[in-house]
Amino acid sequence: MRQLSHLDQLESEAIYIMREVAAESEKPVMLYSIGKDSSVMLHLALKAFYPEKPPFPFMHIDTTWKFKEMIEFRDRKAKQLALELIVYSNDEGIKKGINPFDHGASYTDIMKTEALKSGLNKYGFTAAFGGGRRDEEKSRAKERIFSFRNNAHAWDPKNQRPEMWKLYNTKINKGESIRVFPLSNWTEKDIWQYIRRENIEIVPLYYSKVRPVVFRDGNIILVDDNRMKLLPGEKIENKKVRFRTLGCYPLTGGIESEADTLDTIIDETLGAVSSERTSRVIDHEANASMERRKREGYF
């Protein structure tokens, strides 16, 4: 009998998880961050429920500092697929002018973590799909596929609910919620191979192109709009760069690369000498910073 390939196995697992949540959870939502993992998640959700549309809305936590191309991509996709898209921002943070240049770690806390929590609370979502993978970072490596959060959205890594076989227990009490990670067992390589196999459209920022950038603290930062202020000694250079992960442009380092097709991106990734999170600036703040953020409710 025909055996499923490695990618087929991962796809099956993710679809199974999405269907379980749709069937059992009262009010699910899919967090949509516009990145390649979100593109894979969206693709899987369309497959999982076909011919029905995904039976839940998509929510983007917009820090207002995302790359312009991301926002264009998001709005075009939502329209094309007639998705129910919720865009949520922390208005209070915007009013106070919280920004990644001046506010460092508290920027992430306020515009991402807090915004996510209040967005989920506002709509009363009981389960939120996220595209997190266990190969991304050490504390994620320990997280269950169904990750329970108390009414303050906090994660208790020392007392995780046992997850046996594929018998997911989605029961929660009022006020609690679940973060669900259908891509837990995928690696970055799997994601890219799946994007190629399924011909999934991704934000053009992943492809190398000549872009205006600034070299800052060892990172290559894109000058995406005029809110990017140059520090003394810095100058804007045009470099052929691409991005391995997408987030807020001031916090996302690019890499110099010639890879401008899917195949060359994949070749470059598979031979990569750095794991992808090195291009995320926040992870370097302190040892185990991700685990702290997760306990406090970050995805």
Partner 1 sequence: MKNLLKFITCGSVDDGKSTLIGHMLYDAKILFTDQKRALELDSKIGSRDGHIDYSLLLDGLMAEREQGITIDVAYRYFTTPNRSFIVADTPGHEQYTRNMAVGASFADLAVILIDATQGVLMQTKRHSRICSIMGIKHFVLAVNKMDLINYDNHRFEEIKSEFLSLTAGYNLESVAAIPVSATEGDNLTVNSQNMSWYKGLPLLPYLEQLNISGETDCGYFVMPVQRVCRPNRTFRGFQGQIESGILKKGDELTNFPNKEKAKVKKIYKGDLETETAVFGEPITVQLDREVDVSRGCVLVKNTETEVTDMFTATILWMDDSELLPGRSYLLKLGTKILPASVMVIKYKIDINTGKHIQADELFKNELAQCDISVSENIVIDKFSKIKILGSFILIDRITNMTSACGIVEHSLRRSANVVWQKTDITREIRANQKSQNPLTLWFTGLSGSGKSTLANEVEKRLISLGKHTMILDGDNVRHGLNKNLGFKEADRIENIRRIAEVSKLLNEAGLIAITSFISPYEKDRENAREIIGESFVEIFVSTPLEECENRDVKGLYKKSRNGEIPNFTGVSSPYEIPKKPDITIDTSKIDIDQATESVMKVILKRIE
Binding region for partner 1 (CB under 8 A): 1-6, 8-9, 11-12, 15-16, 19-20, 22-24, 46-53, 134-135, 138-139, 141-142, 144, 157-158, 160-167, 169, 171-173, 184-185, 187, 189, 272-275, 278, 287-288, 291
What whole-number distance in Å separates Cα of residue 94 and Cα of residue 77? 26
**Of 94 and 272, which has the nearer Cβ to partner 1?**
272
The number of C-alpha atoms within 13 Å of 272 and in the hemisphere containing its C-beta is 20
- Least distance (Å) from partner 1 to the CB of residue 3? 6
Longest dimension (CA), the chain: 65
To the nearest whole angstrom, how small is the minimum distance from the Cβ of residue 62 to partner 1? Answer: 29
Nearer to partner 1, 23 or 230 (CB): 23
Beta bridge partners of 241: 209, 256
CB nearer to partner 1: pick between 106 and 287: 287
CB of 20 or CB of 62, closer to partner 1: 20
Q: Which is nearer to partner 1, 8 or 225 (CB)?
A: 8
**Cα 45 to Cα 17, 31, 39, 48, 228, distances in angstroms:** 10, 12, 10, 5, 36
Show the tokens assigned to 186.
């995928």
- Owner of token pair 């009363």: 124
| Least Cβ distance, residue 93 to partner 1 (angstroms) | 28
- Between CA 125 and CA 133, with CA 128 as vertex, the angle to 5 degrees is 170
Give whichever of 9 and 151 is closer to partner 1, judged by the CB atom. Answer: 9
Q: Which is nearer to partner 1, 19 or 103 (CB)?
A: 19
Asked whether the beta carbons of 4 and 16 are under 8 A apart, the reply is: no
| Residue 183 · residue 14 · CB < 8 Å | yes
CA distance 207 to 262: 8
Q: Distance from CA of residue 19 to its chain's centroid?
A: 20
**Shortest Å distance, C-beta 286 to partner 1:** 11
CB of 100 to partner 1, least distance (A): 22
Q: Cβ of residue 67: shortest distance to partner 1, in angstroms?
A: 24
Q: How far is the CB of 12 from partner 1 (least distance, A)?
A: 5
Q: Is 242 left (phi over 0), alpha (psi -120 to 50) or beta?
A: beta
